[in-house]
Structure 1
Amino acid sequence: MKKINILDLFSGTGGFSHGFTSFSERFKVVGAVELDKDAAITTRLNHKDCLVINKDIRETKPSLFNEYLKNEVVDVIIGGPPCQGFSSIRPFRSSEEEDPRNTLFEQFALYVNYFTPKVFVMENVVGLVSHNNGLTLEIIEDVFHNLGYDCEWKILNAANYGVPQKRERFIMIGAKKGTKIHFPFPTHSFDGKTIGIKNKNKMVIVRENLPLALNAMEAIGDLPALASGKSATYYASEPLNAYQRERRVGSDGTLTLHKATNHPPKMLEIIKHAGDNISFIPKHLITSGFSNCYSRISANEPAPTITVKFVNPASSKCIHPYQDRALTPREGARIQSFDDNYLFHGSRVQVIKQIGNAVPPLLGKAIAKSVFEILN
């Protein structure tokens, strides 16, 4: 069985590529580049045969992977260049391996140019579409066209692909010129409020007669109830649905990362009043905050986008639907569609950051299906 080799740039936890390997055993992650030390170790723990380079990609030559690859080709490159790098983006200037002037996107393009994969997938924030009045995206498309690729992009909502979260992402798929490109069909319907973009043709249209998107409690309802500051290391019940059952596959029965933030008394008083938005909080308890701060996740809808602040009610909508506390890291990982046996390395703060920044593995799995079909 011939393997399909993947290079994962800006890999973070390796969640995006985990979605690919979950879809098919033919996908193999052979290399990854990640700047954050703890996230790089997380990638290495979950992709044991992968060469993970823990360095700034601008200091990492593509040729470093050649000896490890032993003349094998890179079939697919995936990754999400951090959006901060788009401010100074310019037309691609050269294929020089080492150019400190390159932005992070240009490094992604450099790897595509060096390895000439059959397909690449670039993931990013929805705001990329309107950045610099659309000029940034035009330059990106021109760069890949000049490198010999046709590319298409869409805004995908993770809730449409089995993830219990309203997380919208920009996804660009590129393939060698003349290759037909398509995006994954939704598996779940969700018509609630989203960010979206003006050009609805670039939004994936939800087909009729699909199961409803999973809600937050369908993701975390089997996890033990906790008070502020408390933790649990064993499941309190059997899985209550297929999603929970799938997340527990491969688990040895031990529950990890299910520890609640130890909220101070004033925050606990605020949390007791929490509702759908900040207006539920008595004015004398808070002085400022965005509309979604100090608010509860709805039990009957997909959760809002999990951020790197999902254990801090002052910074995001992250209070448990019924319990008086913020989400635990395990609940955040469940909402991001990580399996319970997925390994995370680092301090609690680092793990929370990794979970919040990750591409949901189930969204990656849906994209992997399209890539597999494009390759075949």
Structure 2
Amino acid sequence: MSDINVLDLFCGTGGFSYGFQRYSKRFKIVGAIDLLSHATDTTKANHPNCVTFTQDIRTLKPSELERSLKGKQIDLIVGGPPCQGFSSLRPFRSSKEDDPRNSLFEQFALFVNYFKPKVFVMENVVGLVTHNKGKTLTVIEDCFRQMGYKFDWRILNTANYGVPQKRERFILIGTRDGGKISFPTPTHSFKGKSIGVKQKERHVLAGTNLPPAVTLDEAIGDLPFIESSMASSEYGEMPLNEYQQEMRKNSNILTMHEAANHSKKMLEIISYSGSNINCIPKNLITSGFSSCYSRLNPNEPATTLTVKFQSPASSKCIHPFQDRALTAREGARIQSFNDTYKFNGSKTNIISMLGNAVPPLLGKAIASSVIEHFEEVMLEEQA
């Protein structure tokens, strides 16, 4: 079987496309674009043969990228255009690569329209479904329909695919060559919000014989105890389960396991923390969302990781057993990044990238569906 060349738009950590490569070495990450240098540096460090562009995608013409690929055909485009531009979306009418409209989604569409890959996968927040009373999604669907793509979308919960996190994502898959569009079958059971439904409502999945979702403790329980402002570069003990074994494969040195330097007042607040903000004495805090200053439950997948997962005042991110917020390594484990995955940038940059990342195991699951389409099309071409 031939290689499948992948272009990663808004690549961030490169985790989405990394998941495709974890499923099959046939997926070759040949190009990536991101506005932030620490993002493209991280992608390049893990995909050394990838051509990266560190710039606003609105300033990059598809033809420039095409020249840099030196004749390589783009078979698959993946990406999650930031949702800030959705409020200004308009019907897609132009096929010109220098179209002046500045919506980031429209730039994603522009690259799809230019390269005409056999398949594209667009990832985004669940709120896209109801944004502007559903009108935004209608414009997006009309756009891809005018390009001649067949497509479908689902809301997937990462906990159903081996990720130790209850993170729901909107996934739209489009194909140019017809054929069935399929979405990955869950590998883990999770009695939480639904997966694979288009309705705004959520439905609990029926009982299955699948293994239970990976819990937070199963994901990070082997990492050494550290206090606020401390760090550790040694594992200390052997992996305790299959998930930890997979995450630690080929890794001998522990990295990014450094605790935030909490203030004396924050440490006092954390000492009272429980399942929600109501556990904190009123004299210590004045306001906050119900999930702020809260401990994570070790016996279930973590709540959705955010870009503030080292700030208890901003998110539910306190370690279940230790008086501190999560470390970057624990965040990477929750997002299903192997311990050998290289991250570039400052500590703040890395925390932000992890909070925005698409879990590689979700990418891997989607790759299992996408590759079926490529194989089906290839068989039809050979017939």
Q: What letter is aligned with 1:66?
A: E
1:312 Cα deviation after fit: 0.5
Q: Distance in 1 between matches of 2:280 and 2:371?
A: 49
2:332 corresponds to: 333
The alignment's TM-score, normalised by the length of structure 2, stands at: 0.95
| CA deviation profile, 1:171-192 (whole Å, cap 9, x unmatched) | 0000015321010000001113
Shift of 1:206: 6.2
Aligned-partner Cα distance in 2 for 1:238–1:276:
30
The code of the aligned residue for 1:109 comes to A
Q: Which moved more, 1:159-168 or 1:101-110?
A: 101-110
For 1:279, the equivalent position in structure 2 comes to 278
How far apart in 2 are the matches of 1:161 and 1:329?
Answer: 22
Which residue number in structure 2 is paired with residue 375 of structure 1?
A: 374
- What amino acid maps onto 1:98 in structure 2? D
Q: Quote the Cα distance in structure 2 between the aligned partners of 1:20 and 1:193.
A: 25
Change (3 A) 1:203 1:173: farther
Alignment CA distance shift 1:86-1:206 (3 Å): farther
Q: In 1, Cα distance between the equivalents of 2:170 and 2:344?
A: 27
Q: Percent sequence identity over matched residues?
A: 63
What's the CA shift for 1:198?
7.5
1:40 aligns with 2:40: yes
Is the contact between residue 259 and residue 327 of structure 2 (CA under 8 Å) also seen in structure 1? yes
Output aligned runs, 1:95-106, within 5 Å.
Answer: 95-106=95-106
2:109 aligned partner: 109
2:342 paired residue number: 343
How far 1:41 sits from its partner (Å)? 0.6
Q: Cα distance 1:145–1:206, how it changes in 2: closer, same or farther (>3 A)?
A: farther
Measure, in 2, the Cα distance between the counterparts of 1:193 and 1:161.
14
User: Could you say which residue in structure 1 is the equivalent of 2:65?
Assistant: 65
CA contact (8 A) 2:150 2:174 kept: yes
Instruction: Output the CA distance in 2 between the equivalents of 1:230 and 1:53.
Output: 36
Unpaired runs of 5+ in structure 2?
376-383
What residue ranges of structure 1 are gaps of 5+ in the alignment? none
What amino acid is aligned across from residue 260 of structure 2 in structure 1? T
Question: By how many angstroms is 1:195 displaced?
Answer: 11
Query: Residues of 1 paired with 2:277 and 2:310: CA distance?
Result: 16
Partner of 1:121 in structure 2? 121
Separation in 2, partners of 1:311, 1:195:
28
Distance in 2, Cα, partners of 1:265 & 1:41:
36
Matching of residue 138 in structure 1 with residue 121 in structure 2: no
Which digits, 9 at most, give the CA deviation of each residue in 1:15-43, with x for residues without a partner? 00000011001000000110011111101
Q: Quick one: which amino acid aligns to residue 286 of structure 1?
A: I
The answer on whether the counterparts of 1:16 and 1:359 sit within 8 Å (CA) in structure 2 is yes
Return the offset for 1:202. Answer: 8.9
Equivalent runs, 1:1-376 vs 2, <5 Å: 1-176=1-176, 178-192=178-192, 199=199, 208-251=208-251, 253-376=252-375
CA distance in 1, matches of 2:338, 2:307: 19
- Per-residue deviation, residues 194-242 of structure 1 (Å, max 9, x unmatched): 7998717997956611111011010000000011110000101000001
Tell me the secondary structure at the aligned position of residue 154 of structure 1: strand
Q: Deviations over 1:99-137 (max 9, x none)?
A: 332311111111111111000000000000000100110
Check whether the contact 2:194–2:203 (CA below 8 A) recurs between aligned residues.
no
Could you list the per-position Cα deviations for residues 65-118 of structure 1 after superposition, in whole angstroms to 9, with x for gaps in the alignment? 223333221100000000111000011121221233231111111111111100
Contact 1:160 1:206 in 2 (8 A): no
| TM-score, scaled relative to structure 1 | 0.96
User: Is the CA contact (8 Å cut-off) linking 2:155 and 2:195 kept in structure 1?
Assistant: no
Q: Is 2:19–2:362's contact at 8 Å kept on the other side of the alignment? A: yes
Deviation (angstroms), 1:249: 1.0
